[in-house]
């Protein structure tokens, strides 16, 4: 299917309408970035035309950047959304159906490089790369950043309603090995996030590959499943906000978004630690409009645009220039930027090979079937 024939599904249209509504989760930056965006995203040589298809996580960009890019670049942007890295990978593994820019997590990006699903970037067409903090410019999963540039980073932890728990959540054991909050818990429908979380509970590395350890993690999940109310497809924060659950294993930024609306919600990384992830911007092999793709990535890495996106989605930005423009409460929020005590017991998740992918997929399927 070509980019021209790729249309928004009704569910995606609903997401876009929600983002555009006055009730959407938005807190504006103070100062000039809020009232007069200086748009440095489009160098003259990178101007493009036509259509660009952006395959992204839902609620993962502010509502102004795309319309501004469309106007300045004379490019129509079509958004489509995925709910998991597996969905993203499987959508592209047999060929690109028309996507120009994608946002995989780092282990999936490494997997895509091996499978020839992504193409090298032309860094000369992305001058805003200069805004990225130096520590993000050379990663094990993408040496020299040949195939990707960083968009956000974060953690997996526990969002909870303070008034509904006996005491603040402190351990993964309260999720995986207790009936204390039975029927009040949502967990992520994601093997690549939940299996590593269980590994930390068991005192193992988030990158543990031993098949016996993976089977043991699966057993922990199957034993805990009767106490889970929902296995949520990246909407546990909404269930938490709506009062349908009192505890949700979720990505930190998603919980921070609802914390801004409800003082009774908090987020914690359990004492055993967690996985640290990074989401990246990449151009898939066979992208119909690579010129527009590079211009769009450059726009997302603009200083002012990056600050606005960070303030909107409430995930940690690797954009050092943008970070300097963000509000103090964003920069100093420990749910967004974990303290050293959390970082010391947490690990970056890596791509661990196809055998590992098969083993965790099997464990996850068995968990679903239990």
Taking residues 214-235, what's their average pLDDT? 95
Please indicate, yes or no, whether residues 241 and 224 belong to a single structural domain of this protein.
Answer: yes
Predicted local distance difference test score (pLDDT) of residue 83? 87
pLDDT band at 48 (very low <50, low <70, confident <90, very high): low
User: Rounded to whole angstroms, how far apart are CA atoms 145 and 201?
Assistant: 32
Residue 33 has pLDDT above 70, yes or no: no
Please indicate, yes or no, whether residues 254 and 175 belong to a single structural domain of this protein.
Answer: yes
Residue 7 has pLDDT above 80, yes or no: no
CA distances from 243 to 187, 246, 264, 266 (A): 15, 7, 11, 14
Q: In what order do the strands lie in the sheet with 75-81?
A: 75-81, 50-56, 101-102
Alpha helices in the chain (DSSP H): 10-20, 32-35, 65-73, 85-92, 106-114, 173-176, 191-201, 211-224, 236-241, 252-259, 290-300, 303-313, 320-323, 328-331, 340-344, 354-369
Please indicate, yes or no, whether residues 218 and 358 belong to a single structural domain of this protein.
Answer: yes
Output the furthest CA–CA distance in the chain (Å, rounded).
60
Find the CATH number of the domain harbouring 14: 3.40.190.10
Please indicate, yes or no, whether residues 130 and 239 belong to a single structural domain of this protein.
Answer: no
Please indicate, yes or no, whether residues 206 and 346 belong to a single structural domain of this protein.
Answer: yes
Taking residues 255-263, what's their average pLDDT? 95
Residue 234 has pLDDT above 90, yes or no: no
Residue 36 has pLDDT above 80, yes or no: no
CA distances from 145 to 38, 201, 271, 301 (A): 27, 32, 32, 14
Please indicate, yes or no, whether residues 222 and 287 belong to a single structural domain of this protein.
Answer: no
* Complete DSSP assignment for 197-249: HHHHHTT--TT---HHHHHHHHHHHHHHGGGEEEEESS-HHHHHHTTS-SEEE
Residue 20 has pLDDT above 50, yes or no: no
Residue 76 has pLDDT above 50, yes or no: yes
pTM over 0.85: no
Please indicate, yes or no, whether residues 44 and 89 belong to a single structural domain of this protein.
Answer: yes
Predicted local distance difference test score (pLDDT) of residue 352? 96
Please indicate, yes or no, whether residues 142 and 240 belong to a single structural domain of this protein.
Answer: no
Please indicate, yes or no, whether residues 33 and 172 belong to a single structural domain of this protein.
Answer: no
Residue pLDDT, tens place only, 133-156: 999 999 999 999 999 999 999 999
Task: Return the structure tokens found at 262.
Answer: 């409800």
Question: Whole domain around residue 72: which residue ranges?
Answer: 3-148+282-331
* Number of domains composing the chain: 2
* Higher local confidence (pLDDT), 280 or 19: 280
Please indicate, yes or no, whether residues 128 and 207 belong to a single structural domain of this protein.
Answer: no
Q: Which residues are bridge partners to 279 per DSSP?
A: 105, 152
Please indicate, yes or no, whether residues 104 and 196 belong to a single structural domain of this protein.
Answer: no
Please indicate, yes or no, whether residues 131 and 173 belong to a single structural domain of this protein.
Answer: no
């Amino acid at each position: 299917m070509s980019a021209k024939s790729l249309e928004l599904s009704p569910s995606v249209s609903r997401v876009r309408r929600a983002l555009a509504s006055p009730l959407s989760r938005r807190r504006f930056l103070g100062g000039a970035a809020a009232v007069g965006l200086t748009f440095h995203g489009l160098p003259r040589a990178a101007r493009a035309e036509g259509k660009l298809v952006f395959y992204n996580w839902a609620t993962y960009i502010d509502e102004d950047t795309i319309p501004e890019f469309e106007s300045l670049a004379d490019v129509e942007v079509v958004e489509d959304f995925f709910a998991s890295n597996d969905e993203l990978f499987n959508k592209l593994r047999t060929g690109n159906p028309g996507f120009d820019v994608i946002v995989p997590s780092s282990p999936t990006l490494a997997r895509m490089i091996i499978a020839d699903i992504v193409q090298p970037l032309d860094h000369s067409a992305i001058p805003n790369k200069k805004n990225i903090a130096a520590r993000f410019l050379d990663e094990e999963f993408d040496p020299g950043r040949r195939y990707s540039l960083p968009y956000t980073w974060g953690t997996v932890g526990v969002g909870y309603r303070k008034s509904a728990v006996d005491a603040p959540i402190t351990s993964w054991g309260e999720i995986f090995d207790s009936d204390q909050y039975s029927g009040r818990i949502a967990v992520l429908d994601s093997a690549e996030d939940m299996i590593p979380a269980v590994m930390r509970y068991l005192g193992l590395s988030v990158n543990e590959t031993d098949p016996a350890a993976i089977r043991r993690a699966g057993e922990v999940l199957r034993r805990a499943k009767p106490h889970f109310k929902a296995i949520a497809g990246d909407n546990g924060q909404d269930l938490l906000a709506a009062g349908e659950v009192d505890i949700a294993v979720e990505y930190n930024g998603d919980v921070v978004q609802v914390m801004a609306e409800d003082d009774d919600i908090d987020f914690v990384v359990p004492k055993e630690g967690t996985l640290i992830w990074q989401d990246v911007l990449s151009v898939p092999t066979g992208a119909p409009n690579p010129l527009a793709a590079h211009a769009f990535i450059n726009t997302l890495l603009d200083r002012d645009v990056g600050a606005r996106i960070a303030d909107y989605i409430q995930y940690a930005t690797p954009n050092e220039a943008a970070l300097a423009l963000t509000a103090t409460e964003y920069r100093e929020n420990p749910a967004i930027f974990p303290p050293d005590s959390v970082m010391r017991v947490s690990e970056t998740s890596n791509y661990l090979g196809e055998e590992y992918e098969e083993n965790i997929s099997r464990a996850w399927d068995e968990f679903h079937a239990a």
